[in-house]
């Protein structure tokens, strides 16, 4: 009789063991995925990206920031870009979204790198400079518009 009682007790205990294990595994997976996602967001973007990758990210909803002068902008710019000249960027930080990837373009990549560094120092980690700037963009045959 003692073995029947202990066998029933053991069955009751093991009945909850599998669901408990499955729940624990699900919680662990959720925590790991959450940490991985936060780690990716905290890392931000690479320092520079190619014009080809930039064009793809723009179609996916990235914010395109053009830091060139009005004269340069009027000659050619990427449709949908927002122009904030580099020398005004520090005073216009509030215009740059914090919840989107920010791709920065200039003529050749120098000013966009400076703008990226300024934005990252201000806490915007999801920023990157487009390598080669508008010159590389046009050399790849990617679309531009002209005028204000």
Token readout for 65 is 């920031």
Question: CA 98, CA 146: separation in Å to the nearest integer?
Answer: 28
CB-CB contact of 136 with 130 (8 Å): yes
Enclosing H/E stretch for 118: helix 110-121
Question: CA 11, CA 122: separation in Å to the nearest integer?
Answer: 60
Q: Specify whether 56 is catalytic.
A: no
DSSP 45-73: --SEE-HHHHHHHHHTT-EEEE-S-HHHH
Token readout for 80 is 């949908």
Catalytic pick among 78, 104, 106, 134: 106
Task: Show which residues are catalytic.
Answer: 106
């Amino acid at each position: 009789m003692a073995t029947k009682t202990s066998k029933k007790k053991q069955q009751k205990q093991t009945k909850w063991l599998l669901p408990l294990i499955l729940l624990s595994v699900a919680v662990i997976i959720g925590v790991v995925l959450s940490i991985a996602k936060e780690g990716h967001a905290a890392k931000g973007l690479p320092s520079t990206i190619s014009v080809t990758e930039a064009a793809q990210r723009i179609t996916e909803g990235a914010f395109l920031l053009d830091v060139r002068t009005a004269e340069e902008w009027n000659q050619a710019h990427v449709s949908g870009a927002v122009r904030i000249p580099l020398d005004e960027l520090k005073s216009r930080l509030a215009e740059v979204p914090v919840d989107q990837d920010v791709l920065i373009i200039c003529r050749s990549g120098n000013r966009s790198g400076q703008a990226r560094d300024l934005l990252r120092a201000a806490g915007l980690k999801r920023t990157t400079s487009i390598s080669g700037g508008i010159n590389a963009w046009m050399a790849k045959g990617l679309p531009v518009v002209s005028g204000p």
